[in-house]
Structure 1
């Protein structure tokens, strides 16, 4: 069985408080974006994991897809499977590609082995794998709270808008991003800001990771400025970085505006 895990952008990301468990309380809107990896899982005589595309650091045993299998295997005594993952979504870019892979593995295994787990059941198990994983069980616009696992549907439709993703290859780990954060109460209510026209978001829809990371990586600040020069209605960093994005009412005329040896530039109609 084969599927195509997608990624996400964060529209606003407020870091509210440090928790006793070491995580942080957040508030963010996660919006699904159709940039895709490829994940195939089939029954096999013995367990096997292979990957291609973008190189994945670390041992395969630590890959979130393998962890998803091990989680359900322990609970349901699953038979062996062969897993193939093709990575297209860059890592360390704030797009949630790894989390999407883990969630998609749970969805596929639920179908393959007819586990009959509900959406709620799958979200609870996805939250064990990672803070963003639960979002990708449904992959619809959702307000994310708690450490990212408390989700609520939100009526936001960006259909017809053009999304420009720009990643210059800079890798920012979640740990690095949090080092520059001082939790605080936001000046504006996220849900209220998101209910206003996109053109009003520039000053009020804030990703708390953005200021310290753009000060540290000045090239990212330059990308954001360029997105506005190109005519973006709103531009920001997604997640803990380093992917910058712009929302446009029509396709921007980029020519050779962004030219990186590593990273990527993708224009998507939502």
Structure 2
């Protein structure tokens, strides 16, 4: 059985308060995009221990530390199903603000649930997913969502961007999420993202911000250069996603020039979901 975990972008990201548990309350709009990994599970006939085989982008972590295998372990603690050989083809860049690892973990939960007809609801899977990471529950639902709390409280939003072209540029920069949060001064936004996304996209540039950008760009000016270049080439909206370092632009059409301006970057072009 095979599935294709997809990435996400953040349309705006406001850090609104510091929590007593050390985490931060935020608000953001998660939007799925079609850059994908491939995840396959095969039942092991000899029923030996679960195994993990990885290809594509190399993730510098032991198999047992991979979120896919952590997801498998969590499911096995709650349900009975056969031993598995797990294959992951990694195409979503990590350290990029795209949620690739979280997507893989949540799709693993869904894949096991479907393959073995375990009957877990989306809510039940989301409750398992949040134990793996704050943004993991989003990928259980995998549709446009307004998120609050630490990113695990969801509200559906009416937003369809499937007719637009997304250009995503990932420079060779790894941003530490922990370090990015350390530079943030929480602030309640003057306008909720739920209201901003209802406005014409041409107004988003002046209204929708990512609170991580200021400190991350100060350290890595290339990120802001890429963003401004996207606007010069006709982006309706452009932003860093998550805590970086990927920058996305939303266009009415494919802009070929952008794909040649940054030859040392990972570049993806596709439609919204």
Secondary structure at 1:158 match in 2: coil
Q: CA deviation at 1:96?
A: 0.4
- In 2: Cα distance, 1:189 partner to 1:152 partner: 13
Contact 2:95 2:175 in 1 (8 A): yes
Counterpart of 1:130 in structure 2 is 133
Q: Tell me the TM-score normalised to structure 1 length.
A: 0.96
Q: CA deviation at 1:78?
A: 3.4
Q: Tell me the TM-score normalised to structure 2 length.
A: 0.95
Residue 220 (structure 1) aligned with residue 233 (structure 2): no
Alignment map for 1:139-178 (pairs within 5 Å): 139-178=142-181
Q: CA deviation at 1:188?
A: 2.0
Q: CA deviation at 1:77?
A: 3.7
Residue 209 (structure 1) aligned with residue 220 (structure 2): no
Counterpart of 1:186 in structure 2 is 189
Contact 1:13 1:28 in 2 (8 A): yes
- In 2: Cα distance, 1:41 partner to 1:257 partner: 39
Q: CA deviation at 1:43?
A: 1.4
Q: CA deviation at 1:21?
A: 1.8
Residue 19 (structure 1) aligned with residue 22 (structure 2): no
Contact 1:232 1:247 in 2 (8 A): yes
Q: CA deviation at 1:173?
A: 2.2
Contact 1:4 1:37 in 2 (8 A): yes
Contact 1:230 1:253 in 2 (8 A): no
Counterpart of 2:29 in structure 1 is 29
Counterpart of 1:42 in structure 2 is 42
Contact 1:73 1:79 in 2 (8 A): no
Ranges in structure 1 where 5+ consecutive residues have no aligned partner: none
Deviations 1:194-245 (A, max 9, x none): 1100000001101101111011101111111111111101110001100001
- In 1: Cα distance, 2:51 partner to 2:61 partner: 16
Number of equivalenced pairs:
268
Q: CA deviation at 1:128?
A: 1.0
- In 2: Cα distance, 1:195 partner to 1:41 partner: 40
Deviations 1:97-134 (A, max 9, x none): 00000000000111122210011111111111111110
Q: CA deviation at 1:138?
A: 1.6
Secondary structure at 1:82 match in 2: strand
